[in-house]
Structure 1
Amino acid sequence: AFSALLVGVYRGKKLHYTGKIGTGFSDKLQKEMMKQFAALVRSTNPFDEEPDVNKPSRFRPNPPHAEVTWLKPALVCEVSYTEMTTDGVMRHPSFEGMRIDKKASQVKEEKAMAVTKAAVKKTAKKSPPKKKAKGTPRKAAGPTSTKTGRAGSLLKKAAKAERKTLLNPADASQERTVNGEKLKFSNLDKIYWPKEKYTKRDMLNYYYKVAPYMLPYLKDRPQSLNRYPNGINGPSFYQKDVKGKVPEWIRTFPYRSEDEARDKEFLVASNEASLLYMASLGAIEINPWSSTIRKPDQPDWCIIDLDPDTNTFEKVIETARVTKEVLDAIKVDCYVKTSGSTGIHIYIPLGAKYTYEQSKEFARAIVTIVQSQLPGFTSIERATKLRKGKIYLDFLQNRPQATLAAPYSVRPKPGATVSAPLDWDEVKKGLKLKDFTIFNMPDRLAGIGDIFKPVLGKGINMKTAIKNIESVFEV
């Protein structure tokens, strides 16, 4: 096995170092790659300058001495990364796969090209180009590389075309059949966002459009209804117990709280009809459990909620980037979305393999490290008065029955913002929460599809991740 690959690109006839890749490899893939590397071992450094593989980092001020096995630069791989640093090294690189369609000698340094014409509507965000690289490994690995896309080739193919609207713009009351159930929608002209004059109809049409993307994060999950029957400036209330208050076709899940002796029932989302029913009640935002009724005690994801107080959003972005660096350092995949309100949510896939307690304690370990890196403006104190205006690194969202705004959920905030999944390369200076609303999110989804899908994957190996924490951060 190897701990990292050293990669580069050609500048003329010289191989120039562009970074060290330590994530993106499975154990099986490493074994396959080691077989390829065996015949390419050489005694000398192939780069124009020898890389400092033992350079101290923020997380390893005193790194262990690593030995390099140099390889002939004959293989090419693809690597994703967020940006190039000023010294020409990839930031947050991740291995994507080997390339057999390119010769090593063809992997040249490329320059980004200006985009002169957008390929989709301007509201759709696009991922940045990837870059070619090729090189050699740390410990025992082989030359690898990335492919840089030209302008206009950056768009991902959308999974589905954008849907038409569900409700017409004229009638204040309408009836539709969805999933075989008759739904009655009333008060459709009611203004939910007074400043913008957005209506209940606008919100319902949005949820209908994004339902195919949103339902995987709702299906079979109990919901906490946050109802705003008179819009975002009117009185609101949470409703968890729907026993005897919903149609018979709505699924429910029984529960009993610690402070009451009687059984209650959560509403369980199961299809588009149930999503639209919740929205028709004035539930502007949709708040599912992290677990399903199939495994109610085992969440599908772990959440780190970055909740600012008096901080600028730039500081929230910085905190998110450092959190990503910490998780990259322990080889844990994570995915990011805006809260749609003031903060950022970071999700770690668990695959329903661990308990809520294990998820909470794992998140606690991560945020403790992040807070130690950013003590000036972050806090893990639960009590607001003890945070002293700092960003709260909330790991307690990983408790049983805790809920958070779902991916693509609308938020009861000015502008009708939504909780928007992002590519990590979008989490940088200039990101604005108001850029993602009920009116441009459908276009974005039509352009890039659901980039949050891996959250529902098989999940991390928490035991290995904890070992990596102990190794990397010496805790």
Structure 2
Amino acid sequence: MSLEKYNKKRDFSKTAEPKAGKPKAEGKLLFVIQKHDASRLHYDFRLEMDGVLKSWAVPKGPSTDPENKRLAMMVEDHPFDYKNFEGIIPKGEYGGGTVIVWDEGTYEPLEKIKGKKAQEKHLLAQLKAGSLKIVLHGQKLKGEYALVKTQGMGENSWLMIKHRDDYASTTDIIKKDKSVLSKKSIEQMEKSSDKVWRNGHEEKLKKPAKAKAKVADEEVAANFTGNGDSESITSERLTPDVKTLLKRGKKSKIPIGMKPMLATLVDEPFDNPEWIYEVKWDGYRALGFSLKNGDVQLLSRNNKQFNEKFYPIFELMQSWKMDIAVDGEILVINDKGVSNFGHLQNWRSEADGELVYYVFDLIWYQGKDLTGLPLSDRQAILAEVLPQEDDRIRLSKVFKTKGTDFFQAATKMGLEGIIAKKADGQYLKNNRSSEWLKIKVHLRQEVVIAGFTKNEGTSKQFSSLLLGVYENGHLKYVGKVGTGFNDKDQKEMMAQFEPLVTGKTPFSEEPDVNKASRFRPNPPKAKATWLKPELVCEVAFAEITSDGVFRHPSFRGMRIDKKAKEVVRESAVETKAIMEMELPDDTETKPVQKDQHASAIRPPQSTGRKTLLNPKDETQVRKLNGHELKFTHLSKLYWPEDKVSKRDMFNYYYQVADYILPYLKDRPMSLNRFPGGIHGKSFYQKDVKGKAPDWTNTFPYTTSEGEHKEYLLGNDSAALLWMASLGCIEMNPWFSRSKSPDHPDYCVIDLDPDKNTFDEVIRVAQMVKEVCDQIEVPCYVKTSGSTGIHIYIPLAAKYTYDQSQMFAKIIVSLVHQQVPEFTSMERMIANRKGKMYLDFLQNRPGATIAGPYSLRPKPGATVSMPLDWEEVKPGMTMKDFTIFNALDRLKETGDLFKGILGNGIDLAKAINKAKEVFG
């Protein structure tokens, strides 16, 4: 490809360059930096000069000294011109390896020289002299650099030095290891690329099918008799009539938010022809939800997102483009096909091991709930419809055999255990069942980490973990574990422990951490540090002593998928009892009482619109409505108790934009800014004159004091996100629009409690609704997101603020007459005497309250949520509606508030009706 063609193909005007004074790429000099994994990892730095790309190889990458100032380089004469190539280079061709475009952009001489030819001539002269000074306008590298030829570092050796003396970065730029084109790392490119460079040009690569690693459910058959005989086991897969089976399913929406069916622990294996068997995997239980539009969720058993943590599985599911919900287990397997929980816990990327998602059940498919079908039918459909082109997602094999033989084979292979399932059993969501049984080879248990000890004189971070399980709501001590973790594990765990340190023991009875025993008559002097009981780990142990303590426990790993309150002592049920009678579902553990508002703590889901910001980079630039916005300090917690960050706030407003913007559009905004989060100092900013970006729309307004101001108009998603970037947690629009500033679109009644209960607020809201119903006036209700309730009546900008306020006063007066004992119409707080304020005075020019779907700067990350009047009843709480469940709710309900922007009431008719009804 010629430079001219390359220049046309790559539009460098789209690179993230500073706006002021930066020329477009056309007619400019280009540079490309390629990350090249050949015999050693290095970076090829290519500058266009004299019609070709000159190349320097950077052996260690752009971060080779403590201050990140210098790049060690060697000049290389590359006849090979693969400047826009990403993919595989075979051995023997230019060193071989895998290549990505790590950075690209334009550059120019540091000196001001007009004309491309003159610039090249000047740069070539500098190159010959051994010192080249340039300005880079790349996506990663920006600023002034000097290429300096060195002595004593080998022939043709150079340094690339940041030119400004005052430059010292604290960021290791080499960690930005992904391509600026494909967004893939070297490792991802190596696995997924279908391009190869041969004989000086790019070709399509036909990669050989990757051989599957040996896996336990295939290898286990050879171990039944100990002599390699595999005839005693079968894996039955009959081709089903999928359409016929699906007709038996029930129509339903995709069940995101459900919890999986759990198995009951039993004490020994058994033989029964009505049961089938599977390997018990040593990993994280994971539910996968996929829609045709590519919307995918990969969730733990407690609805924690695995999307980012196990990104290869998540990205693979995004390619499915099908409506399906499956149940399975994520694990890391070794070359013998055995899963290792410790490896899974420490998994960060493909370099840490082969990540596999074993799918063993089908919950929902093509709009049909299949949980009522027999297991054998669900598995038959699953075998037909599950995409299996990539072996990172695999169908878990089902064996119809003798359970005792299967258990013996699992024991011989060193597996965790086996699972027995009733072949005709149904899938019971959110429950534990006796139709799924687990038989463990080794004793293992999840436990709560309630503290740690440190022995006198030790140099380790800690000596042992103090463990507990819940019994009847109380945390009971079950021993301490001091083996199974290395120095690196301890360091990482201490980082998790530090924010949880407390001065009080979380156990119902404080254990003696220095208790002597016949095995250890002189224990080391240990000091206990207590932790809030929030972290869960898993341990293996030999047995349980008579006083309930684990003997010889060994740490196996942290459990991010389990809640501490759910950790109870596992007690195996006699298998014989299961076979003889139907077992209650709560045999192994008492089911956790379902929180009536459990949906309020689920991770936020998509409304169909993707999130705006990725979960990693602290600073990100995004283009909205054609305008670039910069988002910074994205991990800063704005709601620290709820672990909700600035990033979460931005993503929420981006996803909810279609719902909230109708209530902001063309309305002057009062900016209530919380730059430090909900517990920091806040202030109002109404005037944005000279402060808002040029592209925003503003409304000039003169105050009663004669001041000329400009209010921001919330006209589009760019304006919405710009307000959020200022720390505007809540959105406060005027009741009227800029086109009719003196005529509100609605009348608002604000129920503001003082010492009242929320149930009393609900009671008053119902009374307002009754008054409106009697005078035949429609009204719409929403939570304030703080302590009260807002009720809106549509006016369609037909009346003045004074008329609106007068009408609101009529309604609240009628309500106050009924419950004067706990309501008040007094404006002065002192005069209310702790009663609920029936606020009608909000109906005035310039007054604002939090708009529909606005977040609130309150603990719980609550949302001012429109409601159906049937929901307004005792028992409802403000924290039922939060950032965590608002988007899911909108998918179910749609916009319940849109009526306030519709046809307004006939005010005269309403007042006459009130006189008629109430006298």
> For this structure pair, what is the TM-score category when the shorter chain's length is used for normalisation?
0.5 to 0.7
Query: What runs of 5+ residues in structure 2 fail to find an aligned partner?
Result: 1-251, 259-368, 370-605
Partner of 1:79: none
Alpha-carbon offset, residue 467 of structure 1: 0.3
SS at match of 2:861: coil
Distance in 1 between the 2:257 and 2:902 partners? Answer: 30
Query: CA separation in 1, counterparts of 2:826 and 2:770?
Result: 22
Task: Answer yes or no: is 1:388 the counterpart of 2:829.
Answer: no
For 1:459, the equivalent position in structure 2 comes to 904
Instruction: Sort the Cα spacing of 1:248 and 1:348 in 2 relative to 1 into closer, same or farther, 3 A.
Output: same
Q: Residue 118 of structure 1: CA displacement?
A: 8.4
Partner amino acid, structure 2, of 1:230? G
Structure 1 counterpart of 2:648, one-letter code: D
Label 1:426 to 1:121 Cα distance change in 2 as closer, same or farther (>3 A).
farther
> What is the root-mean-square deviation of aligned Cα atoms in Å?
1.9
Given that 1:232 and 1:413 are in contact with CA atoms closer than 8 Å, whether structure 2 keeps it comes out as yes
Distance 1:430-1:121 versus aligned 2 partners, 3 A rule: farther
Instruction: Assess if the C-alpha contact under 8 Å between 1:192 and 1:200 holds in 2.
Output: yes
When residues 345 and 121 of structure 1 are mapped into structure 2, their CA distance, relative to the original with a 3 A threshold, is: farther
Q: Secondary structure at the match of 1:425?
A: helix
Judging changes above 3 Å, is the alpha-carbon distance between structure 1 residues 433 and 119 closer, same or farther for their aligned structure 2 residues?
farther
> For residues 716 and 746 of structure 2, what CA distance do their matches in structure 1 show?
21
How far 1:432 sits from its partner (Å)? 0.7
2:681 paired residue number: 235
How far did residue 162 of structure 1 move?
A: 2.7
C-alpha displacement at 1:448, in angstroms?
1.2
Who is 2:785 aligned against? 340
Contact 1:220/1:269 (CA < 8 Å) preserved in 2? Answer: yes
Q: Report what 1:181 is aligned to.
A: 627
Letter of the structure 1 residue corresponding to residue 681 of structure 2:
P
- Structure 1 segments (4+ residues) deviating >4 Å: 117-123
Offset of residue 161 of structure 1: 4.5
Contact 1:162 1:443 (8 Å CA) reproduced: no
Q: Which residue of 1 aligns with 2:762?
A: 317
Q: 1:121 to 1:298 in 2, by over 3 A?
A: farther
Verify the 8 A CA contact 2:698 2:710 in the aligned structure 1: yes
Q: 1:417 aligns with which of 842, 849, 862?
A: 862
Residue 418 of structure 1 aligns to a residue whose secondary structure is coil
Q: Give the TM-score of the pair, scaled to structure 2.
A: 0.35
The C-alpha deviation readout for 1:92-146, integer Å capped at 9, x for no partner, is xxxxxxxxxxxxxxxxxxxxxxxxx9876569xxxxxxxxxxxxxxxxxxxxxxx
Q: Secondary structure at the match of 1:470?
A: helix
SS of equivalent to 2:879: helix
Q: Does structure 1 conserve the Cα–Cα contact (< 8 Å) formed by 2:785 and 2:863?
A: yes
Give the count of matched residue pairs.
324
The residue identity in structure 1 corresponding to 2:855 is V
Which residue of 2 is the match for residue 304 of structure 1?
749
In 1, Cα distance between equivalents of 2:614 and 2:917: 57
Cα distance in 2 for partners of 1:391, 1:262 equals: 35
Q: 1:122 to 1:305 in 2, by over 3 A?
A: farther
Matched, 1:208 2:675: no
After superposition, the Cα gap between the structure-2 partners of 1:119 and 1:378, relative to the gap in structure 1 and judged at 3 Å, is: farther
Contact 2:750 2:788 in 1 (8 A): yes
1:244 positional shift: 0.4
- Partners in 1 of 2:901 and 2:255 — Cα distance? 27
SS of residue matched to 1:396: coil
- Check conservation: 1:120, 1:447, Cα contact below 8 A: no
CA deviation map 1:139-174 (0-9, x unaligned): xxxxxxxxxxxxx9xxxxxxx953211000000110
Contact 2:734–2:846 (8 Å) recurs in 1:
yes
Contact 2:607 2:655 in 1 (8 A): no
Task: Give yes or no for contact 1:162–1:442 (8 Å, CA) kept in 2.
Answer: no
Distance in 1 between residues matched to 2:810 and 2:762, nearest whole Å: 20
Q: Residues of 1 paired with 2:723 and 2:902: CA distance?
A: 27
> C-alpha offsets along residues 24-43 of structure 1, whole Å, 9 cap, x if unaligned?
xxxxxxxxxxxxxxxxxxxx
Q: Which residue of 1 aligns with 2:694?
A: 248
1:308-328 CA-to-partner distances (Å, cap 9, x unmatched) read: 001000000000000100110
Is the aligned partner of 1:225 residue 2:690?
no
For the 8 Å contact 1:165–1:205, the answer to whether it is kept is yes
What's the counterpart of residue 262 of structure 1?
Answer: 707
Identity %: 61
| Alignment match, 1:436 | 881
Between the two structures, name the one with larger relative contact order (CA 8 Å, sep ≥ 6).
Answer: 1
How far the C-alpha of 1:301 sits from its partner, in A, is 0.5
Distance, in Å, in 1 between the alignment partners of 2:671 and 2:824 is 29
Output one character per residue of 1:339-362: Cα deviation in whole Å (capped at 9) or x when no partner: 000000000000111111100000
- Given that residues 298 and 354 in structure 1 are in contact (C-alpha distance below 8 angstroms), is that contact kept between their aligned partners in structure 2? yes
Aligned residue in 2 for 1:108: none
- How far residue 408 of structure 1 moved from its aligned partner, in angstroms, is 0.2
1:326 aligns with 2:771: yes
CA–CA distance in 1 between the matches of 2:716 and 2:630? 16
Q: Quick check: 1:272 aligned with 2:748?
A: no
Is this contact kept in 2: 1:360–1:398, CA < 8 A? Answer: yes
| Residue segments in structure 1 that go unaligned for 5+ positions in a row | 1-116, 124-151, 153-159
Q: C-alpha displacement at 1:256, in angstroms?
A: 1.7
1:121 and 1:443 in contact (8 A); partners too? no
Pairs within 5 Å for 1:66-77: none
CA distance in 2, matches of 1:122, 1:308: 33
Match of 1:283, SS?
Answer: coil
Rounded to whole Å, the distance in 2 between the matches of 1:428 and 1:407 is 20
Instruction: Tell me which of 270, 274, 291 is aligned to 2:736.
Output: 291
- Kept after mapping to 2: 8 A contact 1:295/1:352: yes
What amino acid is aligned across from residue 194 of structure 1 in structure 2? P
Instruction: Show the counterpart of 2:608.
Output: 162
Q: Which of 1 and 2 has greater Rg?
A: 2
Q: Deviations over 1:220-258 (max 9, x none)?
A: 000000000010000000000111011111111111222
**Shift of residue 447, structure 1, vs aligned partner:** 1.1
Alpha-carbon distance in structure 1 between the residues aligned to 2:658 and 2:854:
13
Range moving further from structure 2, 188-197 or 353-362: 188-197
